[in-house]
Structure 1
Amino acid sequence: MSAGARIWALHLAALALLAAGGVLLPAYHLTNFAKVMVLATYAMGYNIAFGYTGLLSLGHALFFGAGLYGAGMLVQHAGAAAGPAAIAGLLAGGAMAGVVGLLALRTQGVAFMIVTLMFAQAGYLTILYNTAWTRGDEGIVIAREARVLLGFDLSADLPRYFAAFALFAAGLVLKLWLVRSPSGRVMIALRENEERSRMLGYDPYARKLAALVISGLYAGAAGAAYGLLFGYVGASLASTQYSILPLLWVLLGGAGTVLGPFVGALLMFYLIDYSSAVTTASLLVVGVALVLLVLFAPKGILGTLRERWLKWLP
C-alpha cells in the first residue's frame, strides 16, 4: 500500500470509529465526545497556523469568540435560524483573523505572540463591557427552539453528536487535503526556512495571512458550533484561557500532525474529567502530564510516533 493510501485509510478509519461512537457510546460520553470534536476542530485550525506555518499565536480566543458571538448574537437579537447563524460565525472568525493578520503579521516571533495576545484581550474586554449586546459575564443562553438545524434538535444527544462529528469530519478531510497540497508544502517550508521560501519566489506575508485566515475560519466554525450545540455563549469562552488551550492540545497530540489536535484535546479533556473526580487539584495532574510529555515526547504523541516509527504520518 502506498503512503498516500495508508494516510487516507488511517484518517477514514478514525472517522469511522467516531461515527460508530454515536451508536455505541452512553449519553454521558456522547456529550463529552461532541464537545471534544468541536474543540478539536478549533485546535485543528490552530495547528494550521502554529504546527504547519510556525505562527505562535496567543490570540486565537478572539477568533473562537468571534464565531461564538457571531452566531449567538444573531440568534439572540435577530432571531436567526441555526444554519445562517453557523455561517455567520464561520465568516466572523475568518474575517477577524484577516483583520488581525494584516497588522500582526508585520511582526515576527515573540512580538507576533504579544500582539495577538493584545488583540484577544481587547476583544475579551469588548465583550465584557458591551453588556447590552453580549450580556458580559452572564452570557447568552440560546433557547432550545432556536437550536434546530435541518429539522434536527441540536440540544438532543444524538443529533448534537452527529452535528459535531460532521463538523470535525469536514475539518479533518479539508485539513488533510490542504497539508498534502502544494500550498500546504509551502506553509511547511515557511515554518522551516522563511528566507529560503522568499528566495524561491513565495510571498511569506501573503502565505502567512492565508494560513491565519484559514485558521480563523476553523476557529469561527468551532465557536459557532459550540454555542449552537451546547446552548451557551459567554465571555469566559473568549478569555486568554481559550488561546492557551488549543496550544496545549496541539503540543500534547503533536504539532504539525493532522490527528494530533484531536488526540491532545481528547486526552486532556478526560484527564481533567477523571482527575476531578478524585482531587480538586486536577490542573496539577494536567501539569505533571505536560512535564512528562516535554521530557519523554517533546514532539507530542503523534509527532513522536512519526519521528520513531510512522515516517509517512502527515
Structure 2
Amino acid sequence: MSHETRRILALHGGLLVLLLGLQFVLPAYHHGNLARIMVLASYAIGYNILFGYTGLLSLGHALFFAAGMYGMGLTIQHAGFSPAPALLAGLLAGVAVSAGLAVLALRTSGVAFMIVTLMFAQAGYLSILYFGEYTRGDEGFVIQTTQRMLWGIDLSDPTNRYLAALLLFSVCLGLSLWLVRAPFGRVLVAIRENEERVRMLGYDTHAHKLGAMIVSGTISALAGAVYGLLFGYAGASFASVQYSIFPLLWVLLGGAGTVLGPFLGTLFMFYLIDLSSGLTTAYMLIAGVALVVLTLFAPQGLAGELRRRLWGWLP
C-alpha cells in the first residue's frame, strides 16, 4: 500500500470515526441534524458521481431520490412489507428508473441532457400528485413507528437512527472512494475532461456514462429510501425541482469531483440555512450572498480548495 493510499484511507476513516464519536456528545438538536445531513450527503455522493466525476449536469435527480423513497414507502403502506424488503424495493425502483432514464437521456448531451432530466423529474413529480389516492399527493404520508422496526431495531430511536445514517454514509463514502480510484472511475474522469479523446483510445464512452448514471441514480434512490424510513415520512416535495437543485448546490459548494465534497457542502449549506433562518425571514438572501462569496473566492468548492492549496493527493 502506497503512502498516498494510506493518507487517503486515514483521512476518510478518521472522518467516520469522528462522526461515530459525535454520537455520544452532541446535544439532541444537532444529533438529529447530523443524522439528516449524513443521509442527504449520501444523496449528494450519488449526484457527484454523475456530475463531479463524469461531467454530466442533471437537473432531475429528485426523480431517483423520490423513486427510492416511494418504492420503500408505498410497499410498506399498501403491501404490508417490513423495512428490509421495502428498502430493497426502493433500491430496485432506483435501478429501474435510473436505467430507463439513462437510456433515453444519454441520447442527448449538454443543455439538452439537462432539459430531458428536468422534464422526466417533473413528470415523476406530477405522477405522484396525480396518483394521490395512493401517494397522498402534497400531503404525503407518515410511516408509523411500528412500521420502522428493522430486524428488531427501532429506527425511530434517535441513537439507532443516527447509527443507521452513519452506516449508509459509510457505505456510500467507501463506494465512492473505491469507484473513483478504480479503472472505471478513471475513465469517467477522462470522459469529463475530453470525451472525444477517450473514444479515440477505444473506450465505449456511452457504456461508461450509462453505468455512471445507473450507479448515481441507485445511490440517490437508496438515500431516499433510507431517509423516508429513518424520518418516517414520504411526500411529493422530495420529488420537486428543489430537491434536484439541492444536490447540485451541495456538490458545487463542497467541491465537485472530490470524495469529501458532498459531505462538506451538505453540512455547510444545511447549517447556513438553519442559522440564517433564525435571524430573518429572508434567510435565502443570506444564503445566496454566502454562496456568491464562496463561489468567487473558492471556485473549486471547500474540498477542491483544500486539494489545490494543501492536499494535492485528495481524491
Query: TM-score surpassing 0.5?
Result: yes
Match of 1:16 in 2: 17
> Residues 78-227 of structure 1: matches in 2 within 5 Å?
78-227=79-228
Q: TM-score, normalised by structure 1?
A: 0.99
Deviation at 1:85, TM superposition (A): 0.9
Check the 8 A contact 1:95/1:216 in 2, yes or no.
no
Match of 2:240 in 1: 239
Q: For the residues of structure 1 that align with 2:154 and 2:286, how far apart are their CA atoms?
A: 36
Match of 2:26 in 1: 25
Q: Which residue identity lines up with residue 24 of structure 1 in the other structure?
A: V
Q: For the residues of structure 2 that align with 1:289 and 1:90, how far apart are their CA atoms?
A: 35
SS across alignment from 2:228 = helix
SS across alignment from 1:257 = coil
Q: For the residues of structure 2 that align with 1:94 and 1:197, how far apart are their CA atoms?
A: 26
Deviation at 1:26, TM superposition (A): 1.4
In structure 2, stretches of 5+ residues that fail to align are none
Q: Which residue identity lines up with residue 152 of structure 1 in the other structure?
A: I
Q: For the residues of structure 1 that align with 2:131 and 2:249, how far apart are their CA atoms?
A: 30
Q: For the residues of structure 1 that align with 2:186 and 2:156, how far apart are their CA atoms?
A: 40
Q: For the residues of structure 2 that align with 1:309 and 1:208, how far apart are their CA atoms?
A: 31
Q: Which 4+ runs in 1 deviate beyond 4 A?
A: none
Deviation at 1:226, TM superposition (A): 0.8
Deviation at 1:210, TM superposition (A): 0.2
Q: Which residue identity lines up with residue 248 of structure 1 in the other structure?
A: L
Deviation at 1:286, TM superposition (A): 1.1
Per-residue CA distance 1:225-255 (angstroms, 9 max, x = gap):
1110001000001100000000000000000
Match of 2:276 in 1: 275
Match of 1:298 in 2: 299
SS across alignment from 1:24 = coil
Check the 8 A contact 1:94/1:215 in 2, yes or no.
no
Per-residue CA distance 1:269-308 (angstroms, 9 max, x = gap):
1111111111111111110111011110111011111112
Per-residue CA distance 1:65-91 (angstroms, 9 max, x = gap):
000100000000011111111111112
Q: Which residue identity lines up with residue 132 of structure 1 in the other structure?
A: E
Q: Which residue identity lines up with residue 223 of structure 2 in the other structure?
A: A
Per-residue CA distance 1:138-193 (angstroms, 9 max, x = gap):
10110110011121111110000000000000110111011011111000000000
SS across alignment from 1:23 = coil
Q: For the residues of structure 1 that align with 2:309 and 2:105, how far apart are their CA atoms?
A: 36
Q: Which residue identity lines up with residue 205 of structure 2 in the other structure?
A: P
Per-residue CA distance 1:13-35 (angstroms, 9 max, x = gap):
00000011111111111110110
Over aligned residues, Cα RMSD in angstroms? 0.8
SS across alignment from 1:279 = coil
Identity %: 64
Q: For the residues of structure 2 that align with 1:28 and 1:82, how far apart are their CA atoms?
A: 26
Corresponding pairs, count: 314
Deviation at 1:121, TM superposition (A): 0.3
Per-residue CA distance 1:26-74 (angstroms, 9 max, x = gap):
1111110110000000000000000000010001000000001000000
Match of 2:57 in 1: 56
